[in-house]
Amino acid sequence: MTLRGRLTAAFLTVVLGPVLVGAFFVGSAVAAVDRSRSTERLAVAAAAVRTSVDALCQQLRAAADAVALTEDRAAAAGQVVSRGLAAAVLVTDVAGGVVHATTGAPPTPWRDCSAGVPAAGPLRALAARVDLRDAAGAPLGTVTAAQPVDPAFVARLAAVTGVAVTLLDGPGTPVRLRHTTESAGVRDTVLAAAGGLDGERVAGTADGRYVRRVGPSDGQPLPLVLSVPSDQPPGLYAALVAAVLLAALLAVAAAWRLARVTTRPLVELAGAVDRVARGDLTARVPVRSRDELGRLAGAFNRMTRETGTYVAALTSSRDQLRGHLAVLGDTLASTHDLHRILRVILHSAIAATGARAGAVLLVDAGGALVAQATEGLAGPDDPPGPVRVPLGSGVVGAVAVTGEPRRGRVEPSAVPPGEPRCRTYIAVPFAAPADAGGVRPDSAARPAGVADAPTTALGVLALYDRLGGDEFDDDDLVTLRTFAGHAAVAVDNVRVHEEAQRLSLTDPLTGLWNYRYLRESIRREVERASRFGRMLSVLALDLDRFKNVNDTYGHTAGDTVLAEFARRVRGEIREVDLAFRQGGEEFVVLLPETDARGATIVAERLAAAIRGTPITVDGPGTPVLVPVTVSIGIAVYPDHGSTGQQVLDAADEALYAAKAGGRDTWRVAAVTRAAPPVREIPVPAGAVTPDDGLPRAGAHRELPAVDGAPEPGLAAPGGGASSGPHPPRQSRGR
């Protein structure tokens, strides 16, 4: 999204947010006020209903009392009905027989006003009953005055309460309509809303009405539903939506205009920046105002002018530097004399930076920086003889150790002993150059398991006292880094020859040590194990049926299998372990300070790593997964031989046993040396050979030899996982 779009969106958010929130609150407030007023009207109507029903019950009870108190009850009943105090009067005896009944009585059942909550069923009339008794108080019967509950009665209640009244046909559910003053269009919605109500709860309907149930309850046995229409203005929400849409349209127009005015200077600035990025330093931005954008445009114009001046000066300096680099390149191409190359590098660096003097110092075997080339250091204050600075001492010593370049000013009296006297200095370290992958050439071919070279720089290029008295700046630092890089190349060329000799000890296909290095390594490891009383385990490995891979898929596929096998071996052994390729598909792994038990653990792990995942090779047309297994022979010094060759031969014999045992397994060589005579002495239980017969390292113990001299004990257990390199021998084609 462009800046103009983001500004428009932000403005709309700021403007429309409050509008939407306000519209929401207005709608919510109107709805809440409407519901509150309707609830209050329904509460007043419910009270009026109860009062009206109670008044009617009181009137019926008074009419029944009047009939009961007269002797001529038939005449009294007629008068009560004629005056409208009751619709009907019924006089019964003690047995319930009718003594007198007025004409036009409503159908039964009649609901007694004083009865509790009625059962489900139709309600035809309200009645009040009075007991008849003689002078002695003995019951003579009852007088009941009744008033029909019909549409006229419901209409009168609606007139009294001012709301719509609906009489239900019983108090139960589902609700059924009996009489109502509601219009036919809203009856169903009112009944649906009343079906889930009880007590004093109020519910709204889909057509904007509020509903409340009243009764039946003690003293008011009528199941009624009261409803009122909503007082909410019609079309309120439509008006709110229209207002929001209108506000949105106005806000969009205002936001677009504001964003366009705001971003126009930025668009012009961006166009000028693009022109500068393409190399046009004459680009300028019109200054249209004095605000922040105007100041930004002015600053950009000044920057482009100053940049043009700087580029012109830089071009001149670049041409001069090219001349020095051309001389340096010719020297590097025409000679392998390290001292001559370093002198040319130093001379070019001094000429390019305007320094008074300088020196190229290399780290010697003694851990000190020694000057290999100097210029301009013949002053009376400079140290006599070759410059030699210990690592970490002074300026150049600290630069060599930390690897961080330094520049600055220093008082001559504060210069450390051994370094040239100066007022300003600049020093840059250099190390062996890296290849395309960022790996130093002298370590790229180093087999796994050999310790890396120290991280200290190869040397330091230092310059002193810039002519004119100014300090060296960052541009000088960049220039000096270039010359230091050439010095690193020159020094590294010498070390390449040493690296070539090291490469002669590795197998080019697998990167493991070769057979030549195996002979030297096993001799060295046996001597070390003998000197310190430790164990050395030797694993002889042979890929099973490797000839079938070459015959089936070709020698290229076989080379792929060997290289992947070597990689997996390196991944399962320790850094102190050594892996060799003897030749063909035969390999050897040396496990220093590892007993037979640890060697078997390593063998199991190696076999599982080879067996677990088939190796992908290029087959005829498509890649093919080749399952590979390995047989392993294990021998331990000194249990299986007293020399490296004897242990290696024992491991080879164990390998043949593993092959004969079905392949994809390992075998430990048989112990052939005679055990020295011993006398019984108490030893810890952990120091004896375990029941499985595998020799292992344990606590140091002493067993007397024939002449009584103690024999060195076995070494502590080892065997772990990491990687190391490998050597070759003639293949035996198993």
Mind listing the pLDDT tens digit for each residue in 298-322?
888 888 888 888 888 777 766 766 7
DSSP structural state of residue 718:
-
Ranked by mean pLDDT, the top range of 269-278, 443-452, 523-532 is: 523-532
689 — pLDDT class (breaks 50, 70, 90): very low
pLDDT greater at residue 623 or residue 491: 623
* pLDDT at position 716: 34
Q: How far apart are CA 708 and CA 369, in angstroms?
A: 55
Q: Is the pLDDT of residue 719 over 50?
A: no
User: Do 335-498 and 515-711 show the same overall fold?
Assistant: no
Q: Is the pLDDT of residue 394 over 60?
A: yes
DSSP structural state of residue 383:
P
Q: Is the pLDDT of residue 536 over 90?
A: yes
116 — pLDDT class (breaks 50, 70, 90): low
452 — pLDDT class (breaks 50, 70, 90): very low
* pLDDT at position 535: 95
Summary mean pLDDT of the chain: 78
Kindly state the average pLDDT of the residues 629-637.
96
| Burial grade of 381 (CB within 10 A; 0-12, 13-18, 19 or more) | exposed
208 — pLDDT class (breaks 50, 70, 90): confident
Kindly state the average pLDDT of the residues 428-445.
54
Domain ranges of the chain: 25-229, 335-498, 515-711
pLDDT greater at residue 339 or residue 178: 339
Paired tokens of 438? 């960022």
Q: How far apart are CA 539 and CA 463, in angstroms?
A: 56
Q: Is the pLDDT of residue 420 over 90?
A: no
CATH number of 515-711: 3.30.70.270
* pLDDT at position 433: 66
* pLDDT at position 257: 77
* pLDDT at position 482: 81
Of 602, 616, 612, 613, residue with least CA distance to 541:
602
pLDDT greater at residue 7 or residue 93: 93
* pLDDT at position 605: 95
Which residues sit opposite 142 in a β-bridge? Answer: 92, 131
Q: Phi and psi of 641, rounded to 5°?
A: 170, 155
Kindly state the average pLDDT of the residues 365-370.
82
pLDDT greater at residue 691 or residue 544: 544
* pLDDT at position 451: 36
Q: Own/partner pairs for 300-306, CB < 8 Å, 24+ apart? A: 300/269, 300/272, 300/273, 304/272, 304/276
Cα 482 versus chain centre, distance: 41
Kindly state the average pLDDT of the residues 162-189.
73
Q: Is the pLDDT of residue 174 over 80?
A: no
- The CATH number for 335-498, chosen from 3.40.50.920, 3.30.70.380, 3.30.450.40, 3.10.105.10, is 3.30.450.40
Other Cβ atoms closer than 10 A to 319: 9
Radius of gyration of the chain (CA): 55
Kindly state the average pLDDT of the residues 432-449.
43
693 sits in the region (left: phi over 0; alpha: psi -120 to 50; else beta) called: left
* pLDDT at position 687: 40
Kindly state the average pLDDT of the residues 284-293.
80
Q: Is the pLDDT of residue 679 over 70?
A: no
Q: How far apart are CA 358 and CA 467, in angstroms?
A: 12
Q: Phi and psi of 459, rounded to 5°?
A: -175, -170
Of 728, 726, 727, 725, residue with least CA distance to 575:
725
Q: Which helix (H) or strand (E) holds 371?
A: strand 368-375
Check if the beta carbon of residue 646 is closer than 8 Å to that of residue 673: no
Q: How far apart are CA 458 and CA 590, in angstroms?
A: 33
Check if the beta carbon of residue 516 is closer than 8 Å to that of residue 729: no
Kindly state the average pLDDT of the residues 129-147.
83
* pLDDT at position 46: 81
Kindly state the average pLDDT of the residues 521-534.
94
Q: Is the pLDDT of residue 732 over 70?
A: no
34 — pLDDT class (breaks 50, 70, 90): confident
* pLDDT at position 219: 67
pLDDT greater at residue 379 or residue 366: 366
Cα 692 versus chain centre, distance: 50
385 — pLDDT class (breaks 50, 70, 90): low
Q: Is the pLDDT of residue 142 over 50?
A: yes
pLDDT greater at residue 564 or residue 673: 564
